[in-house]
Amino acid sequence: MQELILVVDDEPKIVRLARDYLEKNGFRVVSAADGQSALIAARREKPDLIILDLMLPHMDGREVCRILRRESDVPIIMLTALSEEVDQVSGLEIGADDYITKPFSPRALVARVRALLRRTRGGIKPPSIIRVGVLEIDSDKYSVTLNGRPLRLTPNEFKLLYLLAGRPGQILTREQLLDDLHGAASSIDRSVDSHIKNLRRKLEAASNQNFIETVYGIGYRFIEP
């Protein structure tokens, strides 16, 4: 299931910008325009991460963060137009996990979101052996068997299969997959498509089954035939 991000800001332009880039990169997004609405949305929607503006009407981001921290350990990125170190430090002291200042690069915001989700969910990893029907992937032995026969894959094909099969049903964007393959997201993501094409061809030739579904405009997900 796609991860849900709550964006809290009273500037509609900022919310639209963040929403567009986050959704383009495979996240679901809900939003709130003030502190009280943010608390309601956080309690109702239970987001995977919150992007929280510091300067909000009625109840500012610091107070919202304090209340959320008494109720939840949800990752929080503080968003602020203030650049002074004291404001950055105060946000971290009251429980924010990271901060980014306005004006911000949308790509940088997405990268911060991904990095924080990886840090906070570092213990949730695919098992060393993944079995799906006639498919078995062993990350320790770096081997794949299909219908009991070994399947020869390139290192990149193996890693893509392991990443996708370890999160069945979850959409992984091209940028997420490229980030895991090469260590940093790149604007050139067609290499992922080429690896997926070759991987899918090998899987289908050995089993006549389709394991990888294309989610057009977003990325790919592993499906159980």
Indicate the range of 14-23, 31-40, 164-173 predicted with least confidence: 164-173
- Checking if the pLDDT of 37 tops 90, the result is yes
- Checking if the pLDDT of 94 tops 90, the result is no
pLDDT in tens, 47-58: 999 999 988 988
Cα–Cα distance list, 57 to 9, 37, 118, 201 (Å): 9, 11, 31, 54
Enumerate the H helices of the chain as residue ranges: 12-24, 35-45, 61-71, 85-93, 106-120, 155-165, 174-182, 190-207
| Banded pLDDT at 83 (limits 50, 70, 90) | low
How many whole angstroms separate alpha carbon 87 and alpha carbon 196?
Answer: 45
Tokens for 224, please give them: 């159980």
CA atoms within 13 A on the CB side of 190: 1
pLDDT in tens, 141-193: 889 999 889 999 988 889 899 989 988 888 888 877 877 665 444 444 467 88
Longest dimension (CA), the chain: 64
Contacts of 8 (CB under 8 A, 6+ apart): 31, 32, 33, 35, 37, 38, 41, 50, 51, 52, 53, 56, 61, 64
Contacts of 161 (CB under 8 A, 6+ apart): 137, 144, 153, 199, 203
AA letter at 221: R
Indicate the range of 46-55, 71-80, 81-90 predicted with least confidence: 81-90
Domains of the chain: 4-120 (3.40.50.2300), 129-222 (1.10.10.10)
The answer to whether residues 25 and 173 touch, using CB atoms and an 8 Å cutoff, is: yes
